[in-house]
A and B are shown apart, each in its own frame.
Chain A
Amino acid sequence: DAGVTQSPTHLIKTRGQQVTLRCSPKSGHDTVSWYQQALGQGPQFIFQYYEEEERQRGNFPDRFSGHQFPNYSSELNVNALLLGDSALYLCASSLGQGANTGELFFGEGSRLTVL
């Protein structure tokens, strides 16, 4: 049973560039959430996708955008990168929209460094 897979695992960008991160959810899961985790902090919610639509969004600027495909995989795009965007980006999958949606299965993350 494949878990959540993310790519790439590490990447280095310079300020102003754009980045795309990819995620495949756990088999059978239909909901994908993206989180940003800075060093020493808890994960911060970016947005959630369900049925190919953005269902909720956290307090992140429009530079952060995403997409969910018919096979439930997802992409996170960040434009005009800033130094402060350096973080671990976590993709998490879950099933449905019930109270147990908080039972998240995380991928290993994509560590982004912006120089």
Chain B
Amino acid sequence: QKEVEQNSGPLSVPEGAIASLNCTYSDRGSQSFFWYRQYSGKSPELIMSIYSNGDKEDGRFTAQLNKASQYVSLLIRDSQPSDSATYLCAVSFYGGSYIPTFGRGTSLIVHP
């Protein structure tokens, strides 16, 4: 059973701070890693994908991957109230096709 673990939160940070969201996964063969954002009552939206060890930056978002530790994280710099949402970590490996397994998500609250 391939598992993706996230702290359900909520993680509360003040506006302008850095929010750090973490995710661990059980399958060492995992090859692709994704972060999705889901606003309340809406569907998930892809915000970052990362495929190799290290950091990947896109605007205020940085994804970090450490395959040896089976750990992937998402940093949000200069957090805004509009970033308040649930962040879903997804991990996929090749088992005939690439099917992402999702964690249960971390609720982020950015307060003014």
Contact = CB atoms under 8 A, between A and B. Distances in A.
A42 interface: yes
A102 interface: yes
Contacts, number: 73
Secondary structure type dominating chain A contacts: mixed
B96 interface: yes
B97 A48 contact: yes
Interface of B: 4, 8, 31-32, 34, 36, 42-46, 49, 51, 88, 90, 92, 94-105
Interface residues of A, number: 28
A97 B97 contact: yes
A101 B104 contact: no
Interface of A: 33, 35, 40-45, 48, 50, 55-56, 58, 88, 90, 97-109
